[in-house]
Amino acid sequence: MQIFLFNGGGDANQAKDLERRIRDKLPDLQIVSRLEEISKALPKNAERSGELACILFPVVLNSPESFDRMVSIATEYRDSLFFIFISDDIPARDYKRLVQTGGADWASTRGAPDEILDILSRLGKESGPDTVEAAPSTEPVMVAFVPGAGGVGNSTLAIEVGIQIKTAKRSRNRRVCLIDLDFQNSHVCDYLDIEARMQIQEIARNPERLDKQLFDLFVSHHSSGLDVLAAPRSKGGPADIDPAALEALFQMIAARYDLILLDLPVAWFNWTRQLLSAVEVTVVSGLNTIPGLRQVAETLAAVRAVERVPPKIVVVLNRCEHRLVGGFARRNHVTNLLASEEVIYVRDCPDIATHAVNTGIPMTVEGTGKASKDISPVALIVSEAKPVVAAGTGPQRGPE
């Protein structure tokens, strides 16, 4: 497939930056300033053979007229060209209208080039003979990260586990999705320096509207290959969500991923127990202090009180003090309060953790810090988990 980038004006510096980022991943990118140039560059039998060319089209959506023009272009050329329009944002209703032309998709300016590569990958699969959307060959594995209290590093733990699985040789081909279920105070995308795109209000208002096109618009893509579903932070947004809306979301997710990581908020809602009844692994996170260990113990008791107790439960204690002579401090406290639990200790590396948060580069990607190595056993447990489905419990996880 030939890939063209339309250079039709606009801010020159932004255009150069976009071209540089895309060319890093697509070195054969060709620059054109008029659509007529593309027809000259295509093989004469391209249209007859059904082979599409793709044109990346940066736009500024400053009026309904500019969007109407996009739809018109995509419709006119859809037999020979596939357009990926690139802009800062696009309303969900406009995105659906664009995709329904059959000749276009959309990527965010900030998400380029990763979102563009994802679209090209799907386009390549769809253009093959008798191709249908790929789905997991088995039920997906669901893993819940449950904080014993606020500020214990639960989200960081979920992120690092997801990144380790996507970058490890043995598991890099798995389709992994991380879902931030804190709809008011989501910060997973901040830690990864990507845009939070899930409009949870749209799902809550009308779950039936959630189709493939709308779902794809809600997914944020990290360069590691980890996909993230997270809502933009909003104190005025819903903290809770109707279980029917959550079920519609999980039906879409389960059809596309074989490993689903759930970053749960501290507060429990009417769907929390149902969700925990559907997971294969629960990771309870906390701190190695007396109050912190008590909070972990209380959370463990609540997890074991759900209708179907998760087959695997593990405790992770973050920001632990590591002695110079080896070993972690205050392990006797852990033994006294969590004697029968499987406990993994993650040492405190404040400078490295702060650098990771400020730069948006996870510790695993940087390859620095012993905390990342301490998290490796958690990633191994998660990656080796097998689906155990109990009928009638938890959200519906099979394909629609």
Domains recognised in the chain with CATH numbers: 3-126 (3.40.50.2300), 141-384 (3.40.50.300)
Kindly give the confidence (pLDDT) of every residue in the chain, 400 residues in length, as a single tens digit, with 9 standing for 90 and above: 788 888 865 677 888 888 888 988 888 888 888 777 776 666 554 444 456 688 888 877 666 777 787 888 888 777 778 889 888 888 777 777 787 787 888 888 888 888 888 888 877 655 444 433 444 556 899 999 999 999 999 999 999 999 999 988 889 889 999 999 999 999 999 999 998 999 888 888 888 878 887 888 899 989 888 999 999 988 877 778 888 888 889 988 998 999 999 999 999 998 999 999 999 999 999 999 999 999 999 999 999 999 999 999 999 999 999 887 778 888 889 989 998 999 999 999 889 988 888 988 899 887 767 888 999 999 999 999 998 754 443 444 443 3
Name beta bridge partners: 137.
Answer: none
Phi, psi (deg, nearest 5) at residue 103: -130, 20
Cα–Cα distance for residue pair 254/277, rounded to 1 Å = 16
Query: What is the model's pTM?
Result: 0.72
Report, in angstroms and rounded to the nearest whole number, the Rg of the chain calculated over CA atoms: 23
E strands in the chain: 3-6, 30-32, 53-58, 81-87, 104-108, 141-147, 176-180, 220-221, 227-229, 259-263, 281-287, 312-320, 343-347
31 Cβ contact partners less than 8 Å away, ≥ 6 residues apart: 4, 5, 7, 19
Edge-to-edge strand list for the sheet holding 176-180:
220-221, 227-229, 176-180, 259-263, 141-147, 281-287, 312-320, 343-347
279 Cβ contact partners less than 8 Å away, ≥ 6 residues apart: 142, 143, 144, 262, 310, 394
pLDDT at 392: 40
Cα–Cα distance for residue pair 30/251, rounded to 1 Å = 39
Cα–Cα distance for residue pair 129/7, rounded to 1 Å = 33
- Residue-wise pLDDT tens digits, 128-141: 444 334 445 568 99
pLDDT at 131: 37
pLDDT at 276: 96
- Residue-wise pLDDT tens digits, 160-185: 999 999 988 889 889 999 999 999 99
Cα–Cα distance for residue pair 6/59, rounded to 1 Å = 10
Contact 218, 90 (CB under 8 A): no
Residue owning tokens 């500024």: 60
In one-letter notation, the amino acid at residue 230 is A
Q: Which two tokens stand for residue 125?
A: 């699969």
Question: How far is the CA of 149 from the CAs of 154, 174, 264, 284, in angstroms?
Answer: 9, 31, 11, 10
